[in-house]
Amino acid sequence: MEGFTFYFFAALALVGSAMVALLPRLVHSAFALVMALSGIAGLYWTLGADFLGAVQLLVYVGGIMILFLYGVMLTPKESSRWNLQSILFPGLLCVLPLAVLLHLGWTGVEAAVEFLPTLPEPEPTTKTMGKWFLDREKYLVPFELASIVLLVALVGSVYLARRRKEV
């Protein structure tokens, strides 16, 4: 069961990401990104991070992707086919991190990644997260800082979008 859900969501994330990179049309890439992000939310759930998975869906799929699509849908329908030349440089850039990851995965270096034979029993995370966010010893300062950053972004976007007086 766990194996099946893991492979299903992993395939969703990987195929989605590949489609984002390879599809010629911008809108198709955006929809493929929805698929990839949902796959990642599913992976979080498989690993027992229920709250994080739901946040991933709510923020990325339900919020950011919709705004993304909002923008992309109204752009002209251009398509850019990829060929060997256009992906040569990005491809070379990807080779090194991919090689490192594959090496780690292949050899299973315990120091870098600890492979668990079975997944741990999923535990509810919401309560702990709520406590830690408001704990001075833990993450109170980063939490408040993040909310200040969000507030600044909010005020900034209102400033940019306001109706200017005609001069």
Partner 1 sequence: MERLVGALEGLGESAFALSLLMCAGVVLGFVGIWPLFAVWLERKASADFQSRLGPMYVGGFHGWLQTLADGIKLAFKEDLIPAQANRVLFWIAPAVAFCGAFATMVVIPIAQGVEIVNLDIGIFFILAISSVGTIGVVMAGWASNNKWSLYGAVREAAQLVSYEIPIALSLMIPIIAVGNLRLGHIVGFQCAGPEDAGFVYLSHHGWLLFYSPWTLAAGLIYFVASLAECKRAPFDLPEAESELVSGFHTEYSGLRFSFFFLEEYVFMFVVSIVGALVFLGGWQPLPFVSFQFDNPLMKLIGAGILLGKAVFLVWVQIWLRWTLPRLRVDQVMTMGYKYLTPLAMLTLMGMALYQYWGCRYIPGIL
- Residues in contact with partner 1 by CB under 8 A are 1, 27-28, 31, 34, 38, 50-51, 53-55, 57-58, 61-63, 65-67, 69-70, 73-74, 124-126
Residue that is written with structure tokens 């195929």 in the block: 15
Give the residue with the Cβ less far from partner 1, 107 or 147. Answer: 147
Q: Which residue has the tokens 């049309």?
A: 25
Q: DSSP labels for 34-87?
A: HHHHHHHHHHHHHTT-HHHHHHIIIIIIIIIHHHHHHHHHTS---B----HHHH
Residue 54 CB, shortest distance to partner 1, in Å, is 4
50 versus 133: smaller Cβ distance to partner 1: 50
Nearer to partner 1, 96 or 158 (CB): 158
Minimum distance, C-beta of residue 103 to partner 1, in the bound complex (Å):
34
Residue 48 backbone zone (phi > 0: left; psi -120 to 50: alpha; other: beta) = left
Question: Minimum Å distance from CB 9 to partner 1?
Answer: 14
- Shortest distance, CB of residue 84 to partner 1, whole angstroms? 26
> What's the closest the beta carbon of residue 139 comes to partner 1, in angstroms?
19
- Judged by beta carbon, residue 73 or residue 109, the one nearer partner 1 is 73
> Residues 31-36: contacts with CB within 8 Å, 24+ apart?
31/69, 33/65, 33/68, 34/61, 34/65, 36/12
Question: Based on CB atoms, which residue is closest to partner 1, 10 or 54?
Answer: 54
- By CB atoms closer than 10 A (0-12, 13-18, 19+), residue 53 is buried
